[in-house]
């Protein structure tokens, strides 16, 4: 399963890329607004930095507006993927964009049927929001399992990005369900590394190593001086 970083913060992006586990980045208007930077300037920098897909979200609400906005965003970089909300006008636009070869990520998926329709119109990715579904009393990961079953049944090539993941268990369950990608904020990505037993073990090993006699280096020999 691929891991995407869900952020628009360049410092977070550079640090997570250094770790060697980031396959792409997802952004949204809320994340962009926190940076205080012009969107398209920021998008260009993210796309130039990330060695993988970068999702950039449209904010138009009609199909024609979405298509026009998507064309402009797609022109920023070859790794740009256009995020489009899972609404009727959005899916009309996704169909047109797919025919033009523009990659799309249908976002705010909150039902299995929305994901089914997105695949039918040619979405490159879908982003079901598991954390938000959990907060509404639904089982977000069950939606992921249903989508995966339908996509496998009909051999859809659309990839599932598990979004709104709130903790490492969501990441684990995404992998077990066979999701293609999970996109997570940097604090959740950091937690994937951590376990208290590992921390205790490291401290024990370091304490033991401190008791190991260190090899003595021979004293340097002064060069001979001529008579």
Tokens 């990441």 sit at which residue? 171
Q: Does pLDDT of 94 surpass 60?
A: yes
From the list 74, 82, 89, 121, the residue with the least C-alpha distance to 105 is 82
Position 227 pLDDT exceeds 60: no
Answer yes or no: is pLDDT of 80 > 90.
Answer: yes
When pLDDT is averaged across residues 163-174 and rounded to a whole number, the result is 98
Query: What pLDDT does residue 214 have?
Result: 87
Range 2-209 classified under CATH 3.90.420.10: no
| Confidence grade of residue 220 (pLDDT, cut at 50, 70, 90) | confident
pTM for the full model?
0.92
Tens-place pLDDT, residues 59-74:
999 999 999 999 999 9
Instruction: Please say if the pLDDT value at position 1 is more than 60.
Output: yes
Determine the pLDDT at residue 225.
65
Q: How confident is the model at residue 224 (pLDDT cuts 50, 70, 90)?
A: low
CA distance 123 to 119: 5
Is 83 a residue of the active site? yes
Instruction: For the chain, count helices (H), then strands (E).
Output: 11, 8
Q: Worst-scoring range by mean pLDDT, 21-25, 127-131, 151-155, 211-215? A: 211-215
Residue in this structure with the two tokens 């205790």, named with its chain if needed: 200
- Residue 163 pLDDT > 80, yes or no? yes
Kindly list the domain boundaries of the chain, sorted by start residue: 2-209
| pLDDT at residue 218 tops 90 | no
Catalytic residue among 83, 95, 148, 169: 83
Measured between alpha carbons, how far is residue 41 from residues 28, 66, 73, 108, 174 in Å? Answer: 15, 19, 11, 25, 33
Predicted confidence (pLDDT) per residue in 13-72, tens digit: 999 999 999 999 999 999 999 999 999 999 999 999 999 999 999 999 999 999 999 999
User: Mean pLDDT of all residues in the chain?
Assistant: 96
For residues 50 and 105, give the distance between their C-alpha atoms in angstroms, rounded to a whole number.
17
pLDDT at 117: 98
User: In percent, how much of the chain has pLDDT > 70?
Assistant: 98
The pLDDT, as a whole number, for residue 217 is 75
Among candidate residues 174, 177, 183, the one with its CA nearest the CA of residue 23: 183
């Amino acid at each position: 399963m691929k891991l995407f970083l869900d952020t628009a913060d360049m410092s977070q992006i550079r640090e997570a890329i250094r770790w060697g586990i980031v396959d792409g980045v997802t952004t949204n208007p809320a994340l962009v607004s926190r940076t205080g930077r012009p969107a398209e300037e920021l998008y260009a920098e993210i796309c130039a930095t990330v060695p993988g897909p970068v999702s950039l979200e449209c904010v138009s609400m009609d199909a024609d507006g979405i298509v026009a906005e998507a064309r402009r965003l797609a022109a920023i970089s070859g790794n740009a993927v256009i995020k489009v909300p899972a609404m009727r006008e959005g899916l009309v636009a996704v169909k047109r964009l797919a025919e033009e070869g523009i990659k799309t990520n249908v976002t705010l998926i909150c039902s299995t049927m929305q994901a089914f329709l997105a695949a039918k119109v040619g979405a490159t990715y879908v982003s079901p929001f598991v954390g938000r579904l959990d907060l509404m009393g639904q089982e977000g990961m069950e939606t992921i399992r249903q989508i995966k079953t339908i996509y496998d049944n009909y051999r859809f090539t659309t990839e599932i990005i598990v979004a709104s993941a709130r903790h490492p268990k969501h990441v684990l369950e995404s992998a077990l369900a066979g999701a293609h990608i999970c996109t997570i904020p940097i604090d959740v990505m950091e937690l994937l590394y951590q376990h208290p037993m590992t921390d205790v073990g490291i401290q024990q090993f370091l304490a033991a190593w401190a008791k190991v006699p260190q090899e003595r280096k021979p004293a340097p020999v002064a060069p001979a001086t001529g008579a």
